Amino acid sequence: MVEGRCHCGKVRIELDTAPEEVKSCNCSICRRNGTLWAYYSPKQVRITEAAPTHTYQWGDRDLTLHRCSDCGCVTHWRAVDPTYDRMGVSARLLAPEVLAAARVIQFDGASMGTPTF
Ligand SMILES: [Zn+2]
């Protein structure tokens, strides 16, 4: 099991396994936030929020991006469609040695129009 948290600790993330790879995406939002995404089935992720996160949707509005309402760290995204078996976790919130062990994949989300993560 692997744990991560936002800077202030109000949002905590628990993962069944450490990510083997993370994606660096150059789409309009990822390049601004500087996130590195690890992908999981929502069944493999537990997120606890001491305060409701701020959420953001754009474009096709098929994803909801979450950030801590206090410290502002991007924490994760979820698909609006509850049957979609994939979500993204900001690997930046994990321990530095966990992130360092993951391979970084460059992903050209910008060329794909609407981000698909
Ligand atoms: Zn926070």
pLDDT of residue 113: 61
47 Cα: distance to centroid of ligand 1 (angstroms): 13
| Residue 102 DSSP label | S
Answer yes or no: is 20 within a domain.
Answer: yes
Within a 13 Å sphere around the CA of 69, how many CA atoms are in the beta-carbon half?
7
**In terms of residue numbers, what domain contains 22?**
2-111
**Residue 24 pLDDT exceeds 80:** yes
- DSSP H helices in the chain: 30-33, 96-100
**Residue 9 pLDDT exceeds 70:** yes
Answer yes or no: is 39 within a domain.
Answer: yes
**Neighbouring-strand partners of residue 111:** none
Residue 109 in tokens: 């989300």
pLDDT in tens, 39-75: 999 999 999 999 999 999 998 899 999 999 999 999 9
Q: Which CATH number belongs to the domain containing residue 24 in this structure?
A: 2.170.150.70
Residue 38 in tokens: 């690890």
Q: How many separate domains does the chain show?
A: 1
50 Cα: distance to centroid of ligand 1 (angstroms): 9
